[in-house]
């Protein structure tokens, strides 16, 4: 029997399978006063608050550069209705393929997906990282509307495969929208922007990772002290930087987040770099005196941003952000593209795994974590069978699949009772958990019938599943292995599919990963040599 090295691979996706969104019936909500502009619709607000009316007229007559100055100083921050009108004016001016027809599109999608006053469940959009939606100040009705808008965005923009900040943007913009359809239109403008001088959101994992690398480059230049602090603690610097955009669109308190939104809608992505660097510089001052007591810098930074009001006011944070002498937009774009090209050159892309392993069965997957733990899986079926739809992942595979550990201990885990195809008996009890030696792993023999179908099949169990965003091995009661799309991190849980405990310590970072194709041949040329 020969073995074919398919090569080392590398992650991203959520760690909890396929979460579902529940769209509730309206009459079950306890709705408080509306946060949109429809309340007080019979009131002439300009007479009650003439200053706001004067400011709004100035907004309408100002050019882009004047609006930038207004946004940075909080010109339309009060009252609520003034900011709402300002946002709609700014969003209308964004160069994009979005049109007012988006409103009709939303009503059509919502009617098709949700019906009228019916409870329904839908998979979380594929572009969301973990299924969490920032509540900010939304009530139950508002949170339900956010879910509906996100699901409609997912259907309207099927090419948006990774954008974890979209849920926060929808939640924030809903505060300043007349209804769901208007909020949907605003998001469509940010997704389909066409201005070559601006960038609003990353829409794939590749571009998100390139943006993270770009922020890391900027942080290393403008906040050098924090790099030394984290490096001295032996924690992963890139992992720390990977949260940078979520500091703004998940962790910042609402009143701070909307001040960032004021300038972000006008100036685009560069503002996010500025604000994240300002937060990082504040954090460096805070953490330097207590660094010896910080066990997890990522969590410590998250806590810091959530309580940033103890360290800086809104205005002071933005002043700090805009005092940073960043490179020009063209230079930032060049740096971003260079990082993206580097990722493509290294072939760190979420589809590479499948492109290398499809067409090969069985395969053996081996991985070593950053903690030097080694584990893996014997997978009986071709990954070309992977598939998923709106109802979730389609699991496949046979009872020949098993998982194992090699370090710190060597053990093999496989379902003890298998249903033989076409019979009511049980497979040989030798499939029960057994101590695994390296030699037994390499010489594992796969018995097949003449037609090529496996001798033992278990249709009721969940052995293998995946899409371009994530990969699962085992799915009953938990995942024996769950690898994120670029294969740099993963998670292991107790899994009933294989009757296995966690193969390594919970969530882990992957140090190296290999996949081997097992074929009945003494000499097979490698598909990939690295």
**Which sequence spans correspond to the domains of the chain?**
205-253+266-357, 360-414+459-518
Sign of CA dihedral 122, 125, 130, 135: negative
What's the whole-model pTM score? 0.65
Under DSSP, is residue 85 helix (H, G, I), strand (E, B) or coil?
helix
CB–CB of 273/331 below 8 Å? Answer: no
Q: From first to last of the 530 residues of the chain, give the pLDDT tens digit.
A: 333 444 333 333 333 445 778 887 654 444 444 444 455 567 776 677 789 889 999 999 999 999 999 999 999 998 888 999 999 999 999 999 988 888 999 999 998 888 766 678 888 888 887 668 888 989 888 999 999 999 999 999 999 999 999 999 999 999 999 999 999 999 999 999 998 888 999 999 889 999 999 999 999 899 888 888 887 777 778 888 999 999 999 999 999 999 999 999 999 999 999 999 999 999 999 988 887 788 889 999 999 999 999 999 999 999 999 999 999 999 999 999 999 988 876 655 445 677 778 778 889 999 998 888 999 999 998 888 887 654 567 889 888 999 999 998 999 999 765 443 443 343 343 433 333 433 333 333 333 333 333 434 444 678 999 877 788 999 888 999 998 877 788 899 999 999 999 999 888 888 888 888 876 544 444 443 33
Interatomic CA distance for residues 489 and 26, integer angstroms = 40
C-alpha torsion 314→319→324→325, nearest 10: 140
Interatomic CA distance for residues 6 and 50, integer angstroms = 70
DSSP state of 444: -
Structure tokens at 25: 């019936």
**Rounded to whole angstroms, what are the CA distances from 29 to 37, 141, 145, 146?**
20, 6, 12, 15
CB–CB of 57/75 below 8 Å? Answer: no
Domain spanning 205-253+266-357: which CATH class is it, in words?
mainly alpha
Query: H/E element holding 212?
Result: helix 205-222
Interatomic CA distance for residues 134 and 127, integer angstroms = 15
């Amino acid at each position: 029997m020969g073995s074919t090295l398919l090569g080392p691979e590398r992650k991203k996706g959520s760690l909890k399978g396929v979460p579902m969104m529940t769209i509730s019936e309206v009459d079950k909500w306890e709705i408080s006063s509306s946060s949109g502009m429809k309340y007080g619709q019979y009131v002439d607000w300009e007479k009650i608050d003439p200053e706001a009316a004067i400011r709004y007229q100035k907004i309408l007559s100002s050019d882009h550069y004047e609006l930038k100055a207004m946004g940075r100083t909080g010109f339309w921050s009060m009252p609520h209705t003034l900011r709402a009108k300002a946002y709609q004016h700014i969003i209308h001016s964004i160069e994009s393929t979005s049109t007012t027809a988006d409103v009709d599109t939303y009503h059509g999608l919502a009617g098709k997906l949700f019906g009228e006053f019916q409870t329904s469940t839908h998979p979380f959009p594929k572009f969301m990282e973990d299924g969490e939606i920032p509540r900010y100040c939304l009530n139950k009705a508002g949170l339900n509307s956010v879910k509906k808008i996100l699901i409609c965005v997912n259907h309207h923009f099927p090419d948006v495969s990774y954008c974890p900040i979209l849920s926060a943007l929808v939640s924030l913009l809903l505060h300043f929208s007349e209804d769901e359809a208007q909020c949907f239109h605003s998001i469509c403008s940010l997704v389909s922007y066409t201005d070559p001088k601006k960038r609003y959101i990353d829409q794939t994992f590749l571009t998100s990772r390139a943006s993270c690398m770009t922020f890391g480059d900027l942080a290393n230049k403008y906040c050098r002290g924090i790099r030394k602090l984290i490096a001295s603690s032996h924690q992963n610097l890139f992992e720390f930087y990977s949260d940078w955009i979520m500091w703004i669109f998940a962790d910042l308190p609402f009143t701070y987040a909307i001040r960032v939104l004021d300038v972000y809608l006008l100036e685009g992505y560069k503002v996010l770099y500025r604000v994240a660097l300002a937060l990082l510089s504040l954090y460096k001052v805070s953490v330097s005196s207590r660094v010896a007591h910080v066990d997890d810098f990522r969590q410590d930074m998250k806590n810091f941003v959530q309580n940033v009001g103890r360290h800086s006011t809104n205005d002071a944070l933005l002043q700090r952000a805009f005092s940073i002498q960043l490179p020009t937009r063209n230079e930032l774009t060049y740096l971003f593209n260079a990082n993206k090209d580097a990722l493509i050159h290294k072939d760190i892309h979420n589809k590479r795994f499948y492109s290398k392993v499809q067409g090969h069965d069985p395969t053996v997957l081996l991985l070593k974590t950053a903690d030097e733990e080694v584990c893996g899986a014997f997978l009986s079926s071709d990954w070309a069978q992977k598939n998923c739809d709106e109802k979730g992942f389609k699991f496949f595979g046979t009872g020949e699949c098993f998982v194992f550990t090699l370090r710190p201990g060597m053990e093999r885990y496989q379902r003890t009772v298998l249903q033989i195809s076409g019979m009511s008996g049980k497979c040989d009890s030798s499939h029960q958990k057994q101590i695994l030696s390296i030699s037994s792993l390499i010489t594992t023999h796969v018995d097949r019938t003449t037609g090529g179908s496996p001798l033992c099949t278990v249709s009721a169990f969940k052995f293998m599943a995946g899409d371009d965003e994530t990969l699962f091995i085992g799915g009953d009661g938990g995942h024996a292995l769950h690898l994120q799309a670029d294969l740099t991190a993963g998670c292991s849980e107790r899994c009933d599919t294989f009757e296995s405990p966690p193969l390594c310590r919970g969530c882990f970072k992957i140090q190296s990963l290999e996949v081997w194709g097992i074929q009945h041949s003494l000499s097979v040329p490698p598909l990939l040599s690295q």
